[in-house]
Amino acid sequence: MIGFIILVVFIGVILVALSAIIQPKLADSIILFMGVGLGSVVLFFIFKAPDVALTEAVIGAGISSLIFLMALKHLKAAS
């Protein structure tokens, strides 16, 4: 059962990452990058590494994506 779950989550993360790079608008790209971080948190939890999962959830899917969004506001590309 675990192998099947790992395969499904990996395929999901790869599809979301491919979609994040191809998108023409920048705001969609940043939100999909947040999805890559979320999928990797689930994978870290399945691989029995709780400290790494907590750090990636707080930093990767939290502060890192918010820094990109604040830069987007200054670059006036979201208007």
What are the residues binding other proteins (CB under 8 A)?
1-4, 6-7, 10-11, 13-14, 17-18, 20-22, 24, 26, 29-30, 33, 36-37, 40, 43-44, 46-56, 58-60, 62-64, 66-68, 70-72, 74-75, 77
Least spacing, CB of residue 68 vs other proteins, in Å:
7
Q: Name which of 33, 27, 31, 30 is nearest 13 in CA terms.
A: 33
Least spacing, CB of residue 8 vs other proteins, in Å:
10
Least spacing, CB of residue 17 vs other proteins, in Å:
5
Burial class (CB in 10 A: 0-12, 13-18, 19+), 73: exposed
Q: Name which of 44, 72, 47 is nearest 59 in CA terms.
A: 44
